[in-house]
Copies of this chain bind each other. A is one copy, B any other.
């Protein structure tokens, strides 16, 4: 199951890497079963340690949850905001943001975090507030900047900047949620490439002042 046990002879003593191994195992199980239905014994087993070890690094199950969110979220933040300077064309920029979100978050194991946060937001309001400030609002701000640049240049129509971010990210979030819920029992049902293609097709042409009338998008 986990690749660390067999490779090294002496598999103990890993103070530096343990926390990451534990949060990674916890993320997978929290996403699969939900917070309450996940047993700490199972988290520990998946990380190849005993439950006692888990308590050397985290004070409680709730603290583990917070660490899972924090660790999963921090690396994803900065990456997106760097894109603002890399693209001139607003359409390119918007695609880079949304595509980048899918590549770096949605399609990776981090893609489970939205499901986890949605499920547990009301049980952990303080974590939800943190997540909202650090992830959601910043992400929305990113999209808002891209759209407003496009509007300024007359490339995008004048849409409501307050709400368009949520509308645009929703289909990507939906796909990520799907992969961690129904996909495992009801088949992938939609293949990812076609879904993303359709998404950009529908969404981008809804934003362009002068849409391509060639019959095929992009």
Which residues of A are at the interface with B, using a C-beta cutoff of 8 A? Answer: 32-37, 115, 117-123, 125, 128-129, 132, 136, 157-160, 162-164, 166-171, 173-175, 177-178, 180-182, 184-186, 190, 194-195, 197-199, 201-207, 209, 211, 213, 215, 217
Contact = CB atoms under 8 A, between A and B. Distances in A.
A198 B129 contact: no
A122 B184 contact: yes
Nearest to A217: B157
28 contacts: A32-B122, A33-B36, A33-B122, A34-B34, A37-B123, A118-B177, A118-B181, A118-B182, A121-B185, A122-B184, A129-B185, A159-B201, A159-B202, A160-B194, A160-B201, A163-B195, A166-B190, A167-B171, A167-B195, A167-B199, A167-B202, A170-B170, A171-B171, A174-B174, A202-B207, A203-B203, A204-B206, A205-B205
A157 B204 CA distance: 13
Copies in the complex: 2
A166 B195 contact: yes
Contact of A182 (B121, B158, B159, B160): B121
Contact of A181 (B34, B121, B159, B197): B121
A120 B35 CA distance: 11
A126 B207 CA distance: 40
